[in-house]
């Protein structure tokens, strides 16, 4: 009798386990399926950019959507659709989406992914990398994008060529304010800047324009009336901080 009751308990537990697990798995499968579907829609949207096909943009964006692009523009749906134009003659390209991450809860789905663009301009190739985050809402059983934001990944410029004989022109101590200085010096054929023990190499972009790896902005050197460098310019987001040469 005890053995039968024990077997019965095991049977009930097994049935209960079987009844509970499949819905969770089904929910996970459904979530993954929706994420894949929305990524296909995202690819469809970007595939439509080169030929200037506005139909996917009309279909997948809600009429009351908010769209913020990498240029800082805040566009309505009408403005967004009007912005989709065929690439001009001599231009071509591809845009691929990938590395998706999603968060899905009820009637809301947040999809975040990378966008890799390759563009050919009269035979010359360009590349750019972006990241997009779309918020999809299911309203009246239809999934549409209610909000989307895109930003562009920062990329260092190509290192340019410079006459290394000019590097000594930039050497010296530059002052921002009393007690606030940075030094520029040469080692071999390389230029460095140092402030409070932090040393960074300056890579040439053009004759008097330099950049630091992974740092958005430029370091420029300004010549005075006497033909000698008189200031270091730290340019950030098109605004300048001037460091005057003191020695």
Could you read off the pLDDT of 40-58 as tens digits, one per residue? 999 999 999 999 999 999 9
Give residue 13's pLDDT.
45
Q: Are residues 182 and 229 in the same domain?
A: yes
Given a contact cutoff of 8 angstroms between Cβ atoms, the answer to whether 197 and 138 are in contact is no
User: How many structural domains comprise the chain?
Assistant: 2
- Predicted confidence (pLDDT) at residue 10 exceeds the cutoff of 70: no
Q: Does residue 109 sit in the same domain as residue 176?
A: no
Q: Is residue 158 part of a domain?
A: no
Split at pLDDT 50, 70, 90, the class of 238 is confident
Q: Identify the domain boundary among 129, 152, 175.
A: 152
- Residue 7, in any domain of the structure: yes
Kindly state whether residues 198 and 124 are assigned to the same domain: no
Domain range enclosing 101: 2-152
Q: Compute the mean pLDDT over every residue in the chain, rounded to the nearest whole number.
A: 90
Tell me whether residue 43 is in a domain. Answer: yes
* Shared-domain flag, residues 25 and 131: yes
Which residues lie closer than 8 Å to 31 by C-beta, 6 or more apart? 102, 104
pLDDT over 70 (residue 167): yes
Q: What is the pLDDT of residue 32?
A: 79
Q: Could you tell me if residue 50 is inside a domain?
A: yes
What are phi and psi for residue 181, nearest 5 degrees? -130, 160
- Assigned domain for 157 exists: no
Shared-domain flag, residues 84 and 127: yes
Give residue 247's pLDDT band: very low, low, confident or very high (50, 70, 90): confident
Would you say residue 177 lies in a domain?
yes
CATH number of the domain within which 227 lies: 2.40.128.50
Q: What is the mean pLDDT of residues 120-141?
A: 96
Query: Which pLDDT band holds residue 98 (cuts at 50, 70, 90)?
Result: very high
Please indicate, yes or no, if residue 103 is contained in any of the structural domains: yes
pLDDT > 90: what percent of the chain? Answer: 82
User: What pLDDT sits at residue 28?
Assistant: 62
- Number of DSSP helices (H) and strands (E) in the chain, helices first: 4, 14
The answer to the question of residue 81 being in a domain is yes
User: pTM higher than 0.95, yes or no?
Assistant: no
Contacts of residue 157, defined as CB under 8 A and 6 or more positions apart, other chains included, come to 205, 211
Query: Of 121, 152, 183, at which residue does a domain stop?
Result: 152
Domain with residue 15: its CATH number is 3.10.450.50
Mean pLDDT in residue range 25-49: 87
Same domain, yes or no: 112 and 14: yes
């Amino acid at each position: 009798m005890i053995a039968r009751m024990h077997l019965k308990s095991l049977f009930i537990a097994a049935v209960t386990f079987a009844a509970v697990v499949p819905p969770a798995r089904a929910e996970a499968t459904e979530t993954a399926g929706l994420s894949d579907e929305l990524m296909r829609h995202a690819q469809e949207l970007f595939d439509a950019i080169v030929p200037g096909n506005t139909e996917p943009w009309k279909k997948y964006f809600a009429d009351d959507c908010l769209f913020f692009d990498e240029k800082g523009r805040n566009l309505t749906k009408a403005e967004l659709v009007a912005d989709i134009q065929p690439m001009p003659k001599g231009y071509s390209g591809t845009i691929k989406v990938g590395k998706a991450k999603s968060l899905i809860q009820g009637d809301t789905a947040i999809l975040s992914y990378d966008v890799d663009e390759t563009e050919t301009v009269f035979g010359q190739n360009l590349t750019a990398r972006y990241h997009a985050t779309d918020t999809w809402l299911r309203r009246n059983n239809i999934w549409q994008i209610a909000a989307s934001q895109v930003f562009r990944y920062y990329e260092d410029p190509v290192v340019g060529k410079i006459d290394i004989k000019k590097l000594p022109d930039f050497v010296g101590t530059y002052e921002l304010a009393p007690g606030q200085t940075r030094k520029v010096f040469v080692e071999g054929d390389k230029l460095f800047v140092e402030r409070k023990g932090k040393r960074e190499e300056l890579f040439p972009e053009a004759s008097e324009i330099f950049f630091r790896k992974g740092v958005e902005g430029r370091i420029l050197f300004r010549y005075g009336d006497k033909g000698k460098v008189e200031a270091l310019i730290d340019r950030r987001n098109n605004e300048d901080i001037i460091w005057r040469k003191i020695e």
